Amino acid sequence: AQTVTQSQPEMSVQEAETVTLSCTYDTSESDYYLFWYKQPPSRQMILVIRQEAYKQQNATENRFSVNFQKAAKSFSLKISDSQLGDAAMYFCAYTRGGSNYKLTFGKGTLLTVNP
Amino acid sequence: DVKVTQSSRYLVKRTGEKVFLECVQDMDHENMFWYRQDPGLGLRLIYFSYDVKMKEKGDIPEGYSVSREKKERFSLILESASTNQTSMYLCASSAYVINEQFFGPGTRLTVL
């Protein structure tokens, strides 16, 4: 069974600085997708960034980027120029490609941004 | 704008009551999902549906059932609520051709 591990239950960062959230996963599949979701306090979960396993290039969305290390099965999220609005619970998630669209989530990392 | 709505943000029920949680999406998505979210455990899949009247068990289906009579609506049913079902319940939907899931705001259920 696929597993997703987020080893950092909590992280903190100073406003305007950079922080990296870790995620590792375990799979024997070659076709899969990885995601980072953000859940702000008392607000809806939203997608931050996605990575297709077949793509070698790391995904980037504005201040958010990933470091996808396929051989190491590592998928970390880097947040640059951290803002107060980045404070949230972040979940790493995996899904196998094909017709099965179930997501497997990690346990989450709570990010605090200090002014 | 993509929208997934859930019938209640907060719900308080008594042990043994039958509880219905409703989820509606307006994106014509084929897939719909129910998760529960607990501190330190992340999100765990209860049930999902890939078509009307079709359903599959997720990782923790015990004590729950689901109903999908229309494409846009997916209901989670607690036949006889118990205190260990106190949790945050999240509904999500996705289309066949993409893997991104869109989430509702969640229902915080307390069973007394």
Interface touch A95/B41, C-beta < 8 Å: no
Q: Is the pLDDT of residue A1 over 80?
A: no
- Name the region of B40 (left: φ>0; alpha: ψ -120 to 50; beta: rest): left
Q: What is the count of residue pairs from A and B with beta carbons less than 8 Å apart?
A: 50
Residue found by looking up tokens 């239950």 in the block: A9
Interface touch A105/B43, C-beta < 8 Å: yes
Q: What pLDDT, on a 0 to 100 scale, did the predictor assign at position A43?
A: 84
Six token digits for residue A42: 């008392």
pLDDT band at B1 (very low <50, low <70, confident <90, very high): low
Task: Quick: pLDDT tens for B44-71.
Answer: 999 999 889 889 999 999 999 999 999 9
CB A17 within 8 A of CB A80: no
Q: Rounded to whole angstroms, what are the CA distances from B12 to B60, B87, B93?
A: 22, 11, 25
More confident residue, A59 or A100: A59
Interface touch B33/A45, C-beta < 8 Å: no
User: Which residue of chain A has the CA closest to B34?
Assistant: A102
Task: Quick: pLDDT tens for B95-108.
Answer: 876 668 899 999 99
Cα within 13 Å of Cα(B27), Cβ side: 22
Interface touch B100/A9, C-beta < 8 Å: no
Helices (H) and strands (E) in chain A, counts: 0, 12
Length of chain B as a residue count = 112
CB A105 within 8 A of CB A91: yes
